Amino acid sequence: MGIIIKQSLQNAAVSYFGIILGFITSILLFPNILETSQFGLTRSLLAIAIICSQVVSLGLPNSIIKFASSLRQKATDVRGIFWAITLPAFGSLLLISLILIWFKEDILSLYSDSVLLRKYFFLIVPLISSIALFSLLNSYIKSNLNTVFASFLQEIAIRVLIIINLLLVYFGLISFDLFMILFVASYAFPYLILLVYAFSKRLVTTKIDISPFDKDTRQVISKYSFYSFFGGFTMVLVGNVDLLMVDIFKGLEQTGIYAVALYVGVVISVPKKSIGKISFPIISSAFHRNDMNEVSTVYRQSSINMILFGLLIYIGVVANIHNLFKLLPDEYATGSIVIIIIGLANLFDMITGCNGQIILSSKYYKFDLLFSIVLMVTAILLNYQLIPKYGLIGAATATASSIFIYNLIKLVFVWIKFRILPFTWKTLWIPILGAFSLGINYLIPVLDFLILDLIIRSILITAIFFFAIWFFDISREAKETLISFVTKFKN
């Protein structure tokens, strides 16, 4: 338990520092150093690589975490099972690489503006390889209860390398051509470091040990990987399809603008990720004990805390949206509506609570794959219909509608199967609190000094939320956390 708590705290610190670095790279540096189309190129290449890396990994990262412990007990040399279990992924990588090379012209013909993408298409395979191989090795190291170093490489090291490369471009020390090569190298370098780390800790060896993989074991792993692959692939595709289709229909310049707005909109969902990680094992344990009262309690608590802190971030973003776009070139201002739409979708995702974790922890876990496929098909069809007509607003509307439909289906499913809902009467107070905070914000005149304006608005909104938490008992967990913080501050 001590290891879990220690690494959880360390991972949380790494994640939040990574968010800060992500803001610096995506909001401050990329848009102000690179041309909009050049920034769009990096987002498009990354989206393609992330989707393809899911295909390459074949669902094996989750299988490694689930089965590594039992495989080690059967292995002749425990250090050799990593290469054995990941062999199919290397075959998949070769196949995907050949497909991309062979059908290069067909792929590029889909894009309305493919000049830059054509020039740097050769970087896609190395980028896919770096992301996929890092994911596989990261999962194996996680299965050895060592998560912090890989998280550091993924969340911090990559972003630091990209920041350095951007600054080199800014000071005229490297060309954009060299930057693109170094951009891909920024993803390859952490994998190489992680591989050296794994060898130094004697977690892997150059040998391949296939002794644990009898017929029954292969079948079990294959079945689990199958569900894991499709579940993971659909979510990754949905997370990137709007960006790809903006590129296809509207070009790289619009992709760059959309990427910035999308990043800000997604930051709002940070509370969902944090609370979801804590809630999942509690819900799983409750199902194991058949304790539906605890499942219902966690369901309601997750909903009210996610929406409370998610809305705090959302109101803070909307109130300071004019300050945000002062930091960016003028052409990025068209992304303001995208931020509002994507943010609202993420708020609905949060108010529906941990419905996905409940389904995955129950005997109905296979339905999660079905719902994910519905989400994927809906997202693709809506983006295909709306982006050509309405551009970036169409992409945001398509993504938001997909998220709404997906969560509504899961909400209804959980109600039908378990007769539990994430809402309480206290939930009604939170939108009122948000509207009141935003209304007070609009009474404040815009100050010429950007930083002062941002600080005043942010402090006021936070103070209103904290006042409501303290005196109106909207969330017991939030109030206890606030009391603990105030007590420590006084001492």
Q: How many CB atoms lie within 10 A of CB 30?
A: 24
Q: Is residue 429 helix, strand or coil?
A: helix
Task: Map out the domains of the chain as residue ranges.
Answer: 1-228, 268-491
Instruction: With a cut of 50, list the residues of the chain below it in pLDDT.
Output: 1-5
Q: How many CB atoms lie within 10 A of CB 108?
A: 13
Which string of DSSP letters, residue by residue, matches 366-401?
A: HHHHHHHHHHHHHHHHHHHHHHHHHHHHHHHHHHHH
How far does Cα 475 stand from its chain's mean position? 26
Taking each helix axis from N to C terminus, what angle separates 215-250 and 252-267, rounded to the nearest 10 degrees?
120
Q: Can you tell me the distance from the alpha carbon of 169 to that of 394, in angstroms, rounded to the nearest whole number? A: 33
Q: State both tokens at 253.
A: 């310049």
pLDDT tens-digit map of 226-264: 877 887 788 888 888 999 999 999 999 999 999 998 888
Q: Can you tell me the distance from the alpha carbon of 483 to that of 187, in angstroms, rounded to the nearest whole number? A: 42
pLDDT of residue 350: 93
Q: State both tokens at 207.
A: 């040998």
pLDDT of residue 204: 77
Contact of 314 with 268, CB cutoff 8 Å: yes
pLDDT of residue 482: 79
Q: Is residue 273 helix, strand or coil?
A: helix
pLDDT of residue 188: 96
Q: Can you tell me the distance from the alpha carbon of 11 to that of 142, in angstroms, rounded to the nearest whole number? A: 12
Contact of 169 with 25, CB cutoff 8 Å: no
How far does Cα 111 stand from its chain's mean position? 25
Burial class (CB in 10 A: 0-12, 13-18, 19+), 52: buried
The CB-side HSE value for 14 (13 A sphere, CA atoms) comes to 19
Q: State both tokens at 39.
A: 């920034």
pLDDT of residue 189: 94
Contact of 342 with 265, CB cutoff 8 Å: yes
Q: State both tokens at 348.
A: 């609905």
The helix (H) or strand (E) run that includes residue 335 is: none
Burial class (CB in 10 A: 0-12, 13-18, 19+), 269: buried
